[in-house]
Chain A
Amino acid sequence: NAGVTQTPKFQVLKTGQSMTLQCAQDMNHNSMYWYRQDPGMGLRLIYYSASEGTTDKGEVPNGYNVSRLNKREFSLRLESAAPSQTSVYFCASSSPDIFYGYTFGSGTRLTVV
């Protein structure tokens, strides 16, 4: 099925551990995004990639790094996890035709203890 695939779906980390969240899309979209969703805060943009080979910071980039591996894949890395990074992480992608909006993955629920 065409769409955005995120792995893993759930993860528990200890403070200080590192991990990489994976995201892949098969819609040939140019742009990809990482958002985090916290209760009462809505979605906040962490990083985005307007096209292959480019990445830019969003609203809340501290503590995260990203890699646009190729047109399909955009990964998010937590180098040293902190409890404040407990959240649900969503990857999304979009084409230049804004009419169709963003296509979101099903999310990764991360708990840092």
Chain B
Amino acid sequence: SQQGEEDPQALSIQEGENATMNCSYKTSINNLQWYRQNSGRGLVHLILIRSNEREKHSGRLRVTLDTSKKSSSLLITASRAADTASYFCATDRSGYSTLTFGKGTMLLVSP
């Protein structure tokens, strides 16, 4: 069963705009990770946020985590056409040794 659910399913923006994707999950987690998948390629790890962290930055990426609401958001600032991809959240659930992935958000950044 899916642990994480991303929202929206698809997002279309212009270059230079910010893109925000959300992820909700159901059970307690140790950490939450975000991955990017370009069309026809494997997933690439972007960032990890631990359950005791509330916000994390990496370059143009900003991730927040609200464990009380069981939700996370990924913000990509100043989007570029090269950011066009699908983005997945993945949770490392307490008591489990594997990641459970959501269904992803498809981001289209137009020049």
Known: A42-B102, A45-B100, A59-B1. A101 touches B33 (CB 8 A): yes
B100 cross-chain contacts in A, Cβ below 8 A: 45
A61–B71 CA distance with the chains assembled, in angstroms? 29
Chain A: minimal CB distance from B7 (Å):
13
Contact with A along B83-100 (1 / 0, CB 8 A): 000001010100001111
Chain B: minimal CB distance from A53 (Å):
15
B98 and A58: CB pair below 8 A? Answer: yes
Determine the interface band of chain A, counting residues with CB < 8 A from chain B. Answer: 20 to 34
A50 and B41: CB pair below 8 A? Answer: no
A100 and B45: CB pair below 8 A? Answer: yes
Chain B: minimal CB distance from A28 (Å):
17
A58 cross-chain contacts in B, Cβ below 8 A: 98
Pick from B2, B42, B99, B102: contact of A105, CB below 8 A.
B42
* Nearest B residue (CB) for A33: B98
B45 and A103: CB pair below 8 A? Answer: yes
Chain B: minimal CB distance from A46 (Å):
11
Docked complex: A12-48 residues within 8 A CB-CB of B: 31, 33, 35, 40-45, 48
In this complex, how many residues of chain B approach chain A with their Cβ under 8 Å: the count is 24
B44 and A104: CB pair below 8 A? Answer: yes
Pick from B42, B44, B98, B103: contact of A45, CB below 8 A.
B98
B45 and A107: CB pair below 8 A? Answer: no
A90 and B2: CB pair below 8 A? Answer: no
Chain A: minimal CB distance from B64 (Å):
18
A90 and B43: CB pair below 8 A? Answer: yes
A42 cross-chain contacts in B, Cβ below 8 A: 2, 88, 101-104
B77 cross-chain contacts in A, Cβ below 8 A: none
Q: Which residues of B contact A (CB under 8 A)?
A: 1-2, 30-31, 33, 35, 40-45, 48, 88, 90, 92, 97-104
Q: A90-B42, A102-B35 are in contact. List 17 more A-B contacts (CB 8 A).
A: A31-B97, A42-B2, A43-B43, A43-B101, A45-B98, A45-B100, A48-B97, A58-B98, A90-B43, A98-B30, A101-B35, A102-B45, A102-B99, A104-B42, A104-B44, A105-B42, A107-B41
